[in-house]
């Protein structure tokens, strides 16, 4: 009886040991899940500041609710969120000292500056005309843009060819646009600045403009035949004009230097409309695209909540498998 009890005590001790070991093992496995339940933002905090796979570029004032109105503070905020590029359409109109502050901070953080607007007059026919005075104005504008590029390190300057002229055959206008871009392109090339022409939709936002499609812009760039004259492909505008976004990117890829982003309808952040940005970003990544994608759109929500919604949308679309 005594031996039986002793054996029973040993067996009980073994059972208790096994039970404790099992509980400890289960607790070790469950611990991360428990901690995540206690702090659901822990993983989010660790991943949000990781650089994006592509160079999505917020505008200088996109996150002013979170970062304030100073462009340099906005640059720092965007870098903290994982963005590695910025853009500012109005960069050329900013004071020289502010341009230099922006350039210093971008360089310090290793960020890239997207295209700034060099010329975009939607009210007049300009590039489409064979007019010496207009050509002189465009060349001067290009030289002014070079000064901005030198101060800021910007590589691209955007030009919109202006309005269509109803009194002149479209083919003559196309020839004039090509010739005017040849002159501007030579000036830009001398300073290493690339002119990017932007097709805009005429169905909703900009009726009456001459340049509206990627195939049209591709034809013009091929005729200009200057590596310093390329296209900025605005996916919002091209979804309205022609759709077929990825095949058109593929067909014109050699002449595309930058992208503008915005969903349609509404021109807000990705996932608010019909464009499959996740697939487009995945395509561009595997294509080896290393340029800037300017976030030229509004926000679906206001304030800091809207800022976070935009960042989350890009995190989701950037989450494609590689």
Q: What would the two tokens of residue 88 be?
A: 């500012």
**Run of H or E residues at 113:** strand 112-113
Name the pTM for this structure. 0.85
Sorting pLDDT into bands at 50, 70 and 90, what band is 47? low
| Selection from 295, 300, 298 nearest residue 317 by Cα | 295
Q: Which residues pair with 197 in a beta bridge?
A: 159, 231
- For 59-90, the pLDDT digits (tens) are 999 999 999 999 999 999 999 999 999 999 99
Q: What is the mean pLDDT of the chain?
A: 89
* Non-local CB neighbours of 286 within 8 Å, separated by 6+ positions: 322
Q: Are strands 55-57 and 292-294 parallel, antiparallel or unpaired?
A: parallel
Residue 98, Cβ density class (10 Å: 0-12 exposed, 13-18 middle, ≥19 buried): middle
pLDDT score, position 321: 93
| Selection from 262, 272, 178 nearest residue 226 by Cα | 178
| Selection from 265, 255, 258 nearest residue 284 by Cα | 258
312: which DSSP letter? H
What does 138-171 look like in DSSP terms, one character per residue? HHHHHHHHHHHHHHH---EEEEE-BB--TTS-HH
In the predicted model, is pLDDT for residue 42 greater than 80? no
pLDDT score, position 36: 36
- For 250-298, the pLDDT digits (tens) are 999 999 999 999 999 999 999 999 999 999 999 999 999 999 999 999 9
Phi-psi bin for 243: left (phi > 0), alpha (psi -120 to 50), beta?
A: left
pLDDT score, position 41: 38
pLDDT score, position 48: 64
């Amino acid at each position: 009886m005594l031996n039986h009890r002793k054996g029973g005590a040993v067996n009980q001790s073994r059972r208790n040991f096994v039970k404790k070991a099992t509980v400890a093992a289960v607790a070790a496995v469950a611990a991360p899940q428990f901690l995540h339940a206690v702090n659901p933002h822990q993983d989010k905090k660790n991943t949000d500041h990781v650089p994006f796979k592509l160079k999505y570029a917020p505008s200088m004032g996109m996150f002013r609710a979170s970062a304030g109105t100073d462009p340099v503070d906005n640059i720092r905020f965007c870098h903290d969120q994982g963005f590695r590029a910025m853009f500012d359409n109005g960069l050329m109109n900013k004071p020289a000292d502010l341009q230099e502050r922006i350039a210093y901070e971008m360089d310090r953080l290793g960020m890239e500056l997207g295209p700034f607007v060099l010329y975009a007059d939607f009210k007049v026919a300009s590039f489409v005309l064979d007019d010496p005075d207009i050509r002189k104005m465009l060349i001067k504008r290009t030289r002014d843009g070079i000064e901005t590029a030198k101060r800021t390190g910007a590589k691209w300057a955007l030009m919109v060819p202006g309005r269509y002229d109803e009194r002149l055959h479209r083919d003559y206008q196309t020839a004039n646009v090509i010739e005017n871009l040849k002159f501007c392109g030579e000036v830009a090339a001398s300073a290493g600045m690339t002119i990017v022409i932007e097709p805009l939709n005429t169905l909703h936002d900009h009726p009456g403009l001459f340049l509206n499609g990627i195939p049209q812009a591709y034809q013009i760039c091929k005729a200009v035949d200057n590596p310093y004259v390329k296209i900025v492909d605005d996916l919002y505008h091209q979804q309205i004009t022609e759709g077929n976004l990825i095949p058109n990117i593929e067909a014109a890829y050699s002449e595309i230097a930058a992208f503008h982003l915005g969903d349609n309808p509404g021109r807000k952040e990705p996932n608010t409309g019909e464009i499959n940005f996740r697939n487009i970003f995945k395509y561009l990544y595997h294509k080896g695209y290393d340029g800037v994608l300017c976030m030229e759109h509004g926000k679906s929500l206001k304030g800091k909540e809207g800022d976070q919604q935009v960042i989350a949308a890009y995190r989701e679309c950037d989450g494609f498998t590689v």
